[in-house]
Amino acid sequence: MTSHRKILIVAYSGKGHINPALRFANCLLQTGVQVTFCTSLSVIQLIDNETIPPGLTFAPFSDGHDRGKQPNTPLQQFVSDFETNGARSAAEVISSAAHTGQPFDCLVYTTVIPWAARVAHAHGIKSALLWCQSASILDSYYYYFNEYQSLISCNNNHPTFLIDLPGLPELSIADFPSFLLASCPKEHEFLVQVMHDHIKVLKLDTSIPRILVNTVDELEFDSIRAVKELEFLPIGPLIRSDGRNSSEYSPGMDFFEKTEDDYIQWLNTQPKSSVVYVSFGTIASFRMEQLEEMAIGLREIRRPFLWVIRDSNQAERVRKIAGLGKHGMIVGWCSQVEVLSHEAIGCVVMHCGWNSTVEVLVAGVRTVAFAQWSDQPMNAKMIEDVWKIGVRVRTREEDGMLEGKEIKRCVEMVMEDEQMKMNAEKWREVTREALDNGGSSTINLQTFLHYL
C-alpha cells in the first residue's frame, strides 16, 4: 500500500517543466500517493480545471510576476525571484505538514531549481530531481564539470571539433548545451552555475535514487548507465496520449488560449502520411525574413502542411507567401499530441525541445530537426544519428539562416526514407510498452516509491 505516502512537487514555471511535473503528479496519484503541487500563482491561474488530476492539491505562491514573465524582465531576475519566493513557500508547506502530523516523505523538484533540494535537506526530508531533459544532457553537464571543462572550452570556437564522452555518441562542440558554448548570450551565462548546482545538490541525500527522468530506458540505455554518480530512474514518457493505451498517459495543460481553427477536421481530409507539421515550441521566435524562407520552402514542397505560428501578424504575412488556400493551414495553437497521433501526419519540422522530442518518438513520426538552443542540438543529434528517425537541417554559415531549399531537401528526404519510417515505428512501440504492466518505466516508478 502507498496511500500513506506524501510527496511535494516543486516545479519551475516554464511550460516544459510544468507539463511533465503535472503528468508525474498524476502517475503518483494513481498509485495512491498524496501529492501537493507547488509553483507560481501565474501558472496555477492558467491551468484548465478540466485537466487537473483528481486529488491533486495546489500550493501556489506569488513570485512577483503574477501575470507571467514580462518581455522586459531579464531571465536571471525572473529565476532569482522564483527562487526567493519559491524556497520560502516550499519551506512553509513542509513545516505546516509536519506540524499536522502528516509530514512529506519526499520533495521532487524540476530542472532549473536545484535550491529545492537544499530546502528539503534543511527540513530533514528526502529529495529527488525530476529532470525535464534527456539523460544524455545531464551526463554532458556532469562531464563538463568533472574533467572535461578545459577540453570543451579550449575548442569552443571550433564547432566541428569532436569529443568522445563515455556512454554518449561522438559529439561535436556544436552538439553541446548552448550554455556551455562561447556563442551563449550573456544573459544566459548564469545558467551554467545553475546546472553546476544541479550536480552538487545530488550529494546531499544518497538514500534514494535521485534522478527521475522523462525518458525510456531503451532510448538512452548507455547514457543512463554512463556515470555511476548519476543514478537515473527513467519513468517516461510523461506525455498525454490520444492514441493506444491513452489511459496510461497523464493529462497536461496548455498555456495558450485555444483557437477556433478546426485543424483536426482539416487533417481528416488529407491523405495518410501526407502532411508536414511545423512547430517550434513556445519560446523560439524568428525574424520575418526567416519565416519567409520557411514559407518559400513549404510552398516548393507542394505537400499539405500544418504550421503553428503564434504571432498573428507574422502568420498573416506568411499566409500570403505560402499560399494557404492551395497548400496548407496556419494556426496560432494546436494540441501537438493530438496532431502528431493523426494518421495524416507524415513528418514534423521542429526545434527538438525534449518534451516535443518525446512526443514525436511516442507518435512514431519522422523528423526534420532545426535546433535553436539549450539541449536542442543534442536532441537533434540523437534524432539523426542514434534513433535514426530524421535529419538535421544545414543552415547558412554566415548568418545561421535556414533557406527554403534546405527545408525542401530535408522534408523530401525524410518523407521518402522507408528505413526512417521503420525506425520511427520501432521507437513508437518501445516508448509505449515502457508504461505497460511490467514495462521498464512502470517498474522504475515502483522502485522509487519502494525507496520512500
Sheet order of strands, 345-350 included: 328-331, 305-308, 275-279, 345-350, 366-369, 390-392
Residue of 351, 350, 365 whose CA lies nearest to 431: 365
Q: Which residue has the cell 523538484?
A: 109
Q: How many helices (H) and strands (E) does the chain have?
A: 18, 15
What DSSP character marks residue 178? Answer: G
Nearest 5 degrees, angle CA 366-CA 219-CA 341? 40
Our answer to whether residue 450 is catalytic in this structure is no
Q: Are 194 and 438 in contact (CB under 8 A)?
A: no
Rounded CA-CA distance 380/331 in Å is 25
What DSSP character marks residue 390? Answer: E
The DSSP-derived string for 112-134 is: T-THHHHHHHHTT-EEEEEE-S-
Rounded CA-CA distance 324/329 in Å is 6
What lies within 8 Å, CB to CB, of 145 at 6+ separation is 195, 196, 199
At 328, give phi and psi (nearest 5°): -170, -160
Catalytic residue among 4, 17, 327, 351: 17
Catalytic residues: 17
